Amino acid sequence: MNKNSSNIMALAPNTSNKRETVCIFGTGDFGRALGHKMIQSGYPVVFGSRSTKTSSLIPKGAEVLSHAEAAQKAAVIITAIQRQHYSFLTPLTEILHGKVLVDVSNNLKINEHPESNAEYLAQLVPGAKVVKAFNTVSAWALQSGTLDASRQVFVCGDDMEAKQTVMNIVRALGLTPLDQGSLLAAQEIENYPLQLFPMWKFPILLSFGLAAFFFFYCLIRNVIYPYVYENKDFSFFIAISIPNRICPILALILLALVYLPGVLAAIIQLYRGTKYHRFPDWLDKWMLCRKQLGLVALAFASLHVLYTLVIPIRYFVRWRMSNRIISQVLNNKTEPLDTTNAWLSDSYVALGILGFFLFVLLGITSLPSVSNNVNWREFRFVQSKLGYLTLILCTAHTLVYGGKRFLSPSSYRWYLPNAYMLSLIIPCMVLVVKFVLIFPCLDKPLTRIRQGWERNPQYSE
Ligand code: NAP
């Protein structure tokens, strides 16, 4: 056989792939943008409109007819119209019978109506096969071609064949259809574009709350206290010193909060002797936003690194260093090298560097492009084992920073301990409980529970 025959076949017009006409109701922003994209993808498009006059805004090559005429020309009808106008479809019920009716509409508020717009449409036009799709794609993205962030199109519907037809159209437009099941999923799909970083709300609010608390705490200890007792003005600490105290504290606490729900879940499962009871809602929600908590923690750790790098060029630090040197010269006395302090300082820095390195590694592996390329065991190894190692290193970094100061009375101002001491409470608790859970007397039953064993089975054979 001729070697080039396949190429010749590919170049020949493929008549069997001719696209079916698609009807779009509504010549508004979304209808026009979708029509434009469909024509580009080879679909003949006919618009159903209240006015059959064409204008320069209508995509070239598209026809504009009355709703009834347009619907008769296609098996798939897309309703690019706001929900409040759907009543105009009632007289078209007969024409729309057996046709695929695609609902693209969105609402202004989450759960605005008792039923989803798609279910409402299905009630209005009972004979049509209603499919929900395209509502997460914006008219602007369709027209400008910048679909990177919104390439996914959620599709749901009760008729499998109708859903498949719509998914084929989605694919032909260069988008990715995601089957979300029956029309019951429509409400969730309609709420989706209205959500504002749902998983980030808790981590961000928590870090704002903690940041405000530690800011005032450090302000009292490091600015107000010296002003009251020594009449020294350290208000400039607000610019770098206090943020550089708050950032590592928040990074450590938030990292510990990533692992705390796992530990609590283990305790609950051990106590109940089963994994088949639901966790309390707050714990479920907490577990769902662990990735976001970890990423916020990484952001604070990175800020801490940046603040630390500028320490040598700070005026206050240079002034203090030169003062110490001058006083040694004036007293004709050099300070001997304190090996213990040198060890403490180097260990503190080394632990910080290693902790930050693993922290970054954790952040990188949580990116979808990376996590999609590792299997479940590899992902768990990185997020759990390396995660705990990061927590150990960062906690050790803070403990060594405290060094000999933990028990020194001068560390307590107005009976308030240093802020970093407070930051150690949750990480130490998590690490101690995790350590206890590793003991075989607890680890074995926990592993069995997670494999499905129950202490008091609900359904005995
Ligand atoms: P739009 O610009 O307001 O257009 C809606 C169209 O509906 C109008 O141009 C009109 O078309 C038709 N219409 C208005 N009143 C009507 C009535 N009483 N009876 C029958 N038809 C009527 O709205 P849009 O931005 O294109 O949005 C259309 C739908 O797509 C909405 O449900 C929206 O939630 C959804 N959506 C929009 C976007 C977006 O980025 N804009 C993204 C996702 C989903 P004719 O003049 O041709 O009749």
Spatial separation of the C-alpha atoms in residues 396 and 356, rounded to whole Å? 12
CA of 102 to the centre of ligand 1 (A): 13
The reply to whether 81 falls in a domain is yes
Token code pair at residue 223: 């600015």
Does the pTM of the predicted model rise above 0.85? no
pLDDT at 11: 42
CB of 57 closer than 8 Å to CB of 51: no
Ligand 1 pocket: which of 29, 103, 153 to mutate (most atoms within 8 A of CB): 29
Instruction: Compute CA distances 347 → 210, 338, 401, 402, 424, whole Å.
Output: 28, 14, 9, 12, 18
Q: Is residue 438 pLDDT above 70, yes or no?
A: yes
Res 292: pLDDT: 93
Rounded to a whole number of angstroms, the CA Rg of the chain reads 32
Question: pLDDT tens digit string along 280-297?
Answer: 999 999 999 999 999 999
Q: In degrees, to the nearest 5, what angle opens at C-alpha 385 toward C-alphas 383 and 389?
A: 105
Closest Cα to residue 65, out of 38, 36, 35, 45?
45
Chosen domain end from 172, 194, 216: 194
Same domain, 300 and 343: yes
- How many angstroms is it from 83 CA to the middle of ligand 1? 9
Q: Write the residue with the smallest CA distance to atom 37 of ligand 1.
A: 30
Which pLDDT value is given to residue 412? 81
Shared domain check, 226 and 183: no
Confidence bin at 146 (pLDDT 50/70/90): low
Domain presence at residue 11: no
- Asked if 284 and 404 sit in the same domain, the reply is yes
Protein residue closest via CA to atom 17 of ligand 1 = 85
Residue 459 banded pLDDT, cuts 50, 70, 90: low
Which of the residue ranges 23-32, 135-144, 201-210 would you say has the lowest mean pLDDT? 135-144
Residue 59's SS3 state is coil
Length of the chain counted residue by residue: 461
The pLDDT confidence band at residue 170, using thresholds 50, 70 and 90, is: very high
- Please, which pLDDT band fits residue 219 given cuts at 50, 70 and 90? very high
The pLDDT value recorded for residue 410 is 75
* Atom nearest to 26 CA in ligand 1: 11
Per-residue pLDDT tens digits for 394-428: 999 999 988 777 777 777 888 888 899 999 999 99
Structural domain of residue 36, as residue ranges?
22-194
Average confidence score pLDDT of the chain: 90
Residues 277, 426, single domain; the answer is yes
Confidence at residue 149, expressed as pLDDT on a 0 to 100 scale? 57
Q: Are residues 258 and 154 in the same domain?
A: no
pLDDT for res 382 = 83
Q: What is the DSSP string of 435-448?
A: HHHHSHHHHHHHHH
From 150, 167, 194, the end of a domain falls on: 194
Cβ–ligand 1 distance for 135 under 6 Å, the answer: yes
In a domain, 457, yes or no: no
In a domain, 10, yes or no: no
List the CATH number of the domain containing 158: 3.40.50.720
**pLDDT interval class at 298 (50, 70, 90):** very high
- For residue 456, being part of any structural domain is answered with no
81 touches ligand 1 (CB under 6 Å)? yes
Residue-wise over 395-418: b if at least 16 C-beta within 10 A, else e?
Answer: bbbbbbbbeeeeeeeebebeeebb
Q: Are residues 386 and 241 in the same domain?
A: yes
Closest CA to ligand 1's atom 9: 28
Q: What is the structure's pLDDT at 227?
A: 93
Q: Is the residue at 16 inside a domain?
A: no
Q: How far is the CA of 114 from the centre of ligand 1 (A)?
A: 21
Please indicate, yes or no, whether residues 212 and 292 belong to a single structural domain of this protein. yes
Pocket test of ligand 1: the residue of 23, 24, 30, 87 to mutate, having most ligand atoms within 8 Å of its CB, is: 30
Q: Would residue 6 count as lying in a domain?
A: no
For the purposes of burial, counting CB atoms within 10 Å of the CB of 391, is it exposed (0-12), middle (13-18) or buried (19 or more)? buried
pLDDT for 4 equals 43
Atom of ligand 1 lying closest to residue 47 CA: 47
Q: What pLDDT band is residue 100 in, cutting at 50, 70 and 90?
A: very high
Do 115 and 211 fall within a single domain?
A: no
pLDDT at 458 over 80: no
What spatial distance separates the first Cα and last Cα of the chain, rounded to whole Å?
A: 65
Residue 147's pLDDT is 59
Last residue of a domain, one of 159, 194, 229: 194
Tell me, what's the pLDDT at 5?
A: 41
pLDDT at 350 over 90: yes
**Mean per-residue pLDDT for 236-241?**
94
Token pair listed for 168: 């084929």
Across residues 436-461, what is the average pLDDT? 86
Q: What is the pLDDT of residue 294?
A: 94
Taking 80 as the threshold, does the pLDDT of residue 323 lie above it? yes
Q: What is the DSSP string of 236-285?
A: GGGTTHHHHHHHHHHHHHHHHHHHHHHHHHHHHHHHHT-S-SPPPHHHHH
CA atoms of 311 and 313, how far apart (whole Å): 6
pLDDT band at 198 (very low <50, low <70, confident <90, very high): confident
Q: How far does residue 162's CA lie from ligand 1's centre (Å)?
A: 23
- 66 belongs to a structural domain: yes
Residue 234 in this model has a pLDDT that exceeds 70: yes
What per-residue confidence (pLDDT) applies to 373? 82
* Closest ligand 1 atom number to CA of residue 107: 34
Q: CA–CA separation, 237 vs 352, rounded Å? A: 22
Q: Which of 52, 81, 132, 175 to mutate to test the pocket of ligand 1 (most atoms within 8 A of CB)?
A: 81
Task: Please name the residue whose Cα sits nearest to atom 12 of ligand 1.
Answer: 26
Quick check: CB of 24 below 6 Å from ligand 1?
no
**241 and 188 co-located in one domain:** no
The tens digit of pLDDT for each residue in 3-40 reads: 444 443 444 444 456 789 999 999 999 999 999 999 99
29 C-alpha to center of ligand 1: Å? 7
The reply to whether ligand 1 has any atom less than 6 angstroms from the CB of 26 is yes
Indicate the range of 41-50, 234-243, 257-266, 332-341 predicted with least confidence: 332-341
CA distance 186 to 405: 59
Residues 207, 343, single domain; the answer is yes
Same domain, 178 and 299: no
| Atom 18 in ligand 1: residue holding the nearest Cα | 85
Decide whether any atom of ligand 1 lies within 6 Å of the 136 Cβ. no
Number of domains in the chain: 2
Q: Ligand 1 in contact with 85 (CB < 6 A)?
A: yes
pLDDT of res. 224 = 95
Q: Does residue 365 sit in the same domain as residue 391?
A: yes
78 contacts 89 by C-beta, under 8 angstroms: no
Pick the residue with more confidence: 166 or 6?
A: 166
Does the structure show a pLDDT above 70 at 276?
yes
